[in-house]
Amino acid sequence: MIGGNESCTAGPTPMSYLTCLTYILGEWTGVEHIEDYLSYAVYLSWVLFPLAVVFLLPGVLLVLMYTSVLIVHIYKRKNELKEAYSNDLWDGAKQMLATLWDAHGRIWHGYELHGVKNIPEGPALIVFYHGATPADCIYFLAKLIIQKRPCLVVADHFVFRLPGFKLLLDVTGVIHGPKEECVDALKKGYLIAVAPGGVREALFSDEMYNIIWGERKGFAQVAIDAKVPIIPMFTQNVREGIRTLGGIKILRTIYESIRLPVVPMYGGFPVKLRTFIGEPIPYEPNVTAEELTAKTKAALQALIDKHQKIPGNIFRALMERFQSQKKED
């Protein structure tokens, strides 16, 4: 073994530092031909690196979420003395968050929003297809905030149990979605965005873009009670950016038992995202919730059929970043 006073470059045949390190490691562990094991480990790391990346990239959205949480807490500390004197205390924080998410959408996904003219000046219920994550909805809401359009969004109950998220949800207008609260907000003139498929659609739909609503029709009753139109919304390639392993049956069984999003996700690919807002479905006093649900589902399916190639393809969605872009509304 090389002594403490000896050098890797000493002697008639100087060794490289890597060879020297391998030699020392072999002497220390007592494993013969350790360089073969190290070569195999390096080979495996190169092979598995892309796999590790596609499972780690979705964590970027989580990092951005907690960055947003940190921003609103810092903003609150800096402005707590103004709270008693200002009705617009959180406007600056909202604009800051909207700018952050709008920049992420533009840079990472070349995000575009089309059909804004279909959103009325008054209240409306926006119904959208839920991707594996709500990133596209966040980009959409960011643009509305920048345009100073108040819009609430209905989220699943588990979101409100995430540590540190309460203040962020309050500031950005995320609500549990009880029927009475939604009707009241619509009557006050707000826009509300909701995905009837919720977490189940997010986790268990796939590249075929199946709408998974089950028997849910509460959103339709809310629109009827508030006497507002429903506006369908769909984002092209939303399932190509991040995908789930929802096709594994045991994961579906676990979810139905505990109702928590335990299904692994992978991706985070910088695919092209375009959100399309369809024509409003006007309020009709004599329509039932079942009929309105069917009309809304058909309108959303029409947007999917028009703007999404089925089955979705990650490579094609990536290449669309380099195609001529449609003019943004």
Strand partners, 128: 233
Which of 73, 130, 157, 307 does the annotation list as catalytic?
130
Strand partners, 151: 191
Residue with tokens 């919720």: 198
Output the six-digit token pair for 12: 């008639």
Query: DSSP H helical segments within 80-132, as ranges?
Result: 91-109
DSSP class of 287: -
130 is catalytic: yes
Exposed/middle/buried for 58, CB within 10 Å: 0-12, 13-18, 19+? Answer: buried
- Are 131 and 273 within 8 A, CB to CB? no
Long-range contacts of 115-121 (CB under 8 A, 24+ apart): 115/276, 115/277, 115/278, 115/329, 116/277, 116/329, 117/329, 118/231, 118/277, 118/278, 118/279, 118/280, 119/149, 119/191, 119/231, 119/277, 120/229, 120/280
Rg (CA), the chain: 26
Exposed/middle/buried for 79, CB within 10 Å: 0-12, 13-18, 19+? Answer: middle
Exposed/middle/buried for 30, CB within 10 Å: 0-12, 13-18, 19+? Answer: exposed
Q: List, by residue number, the catalytic residues.
A: 130
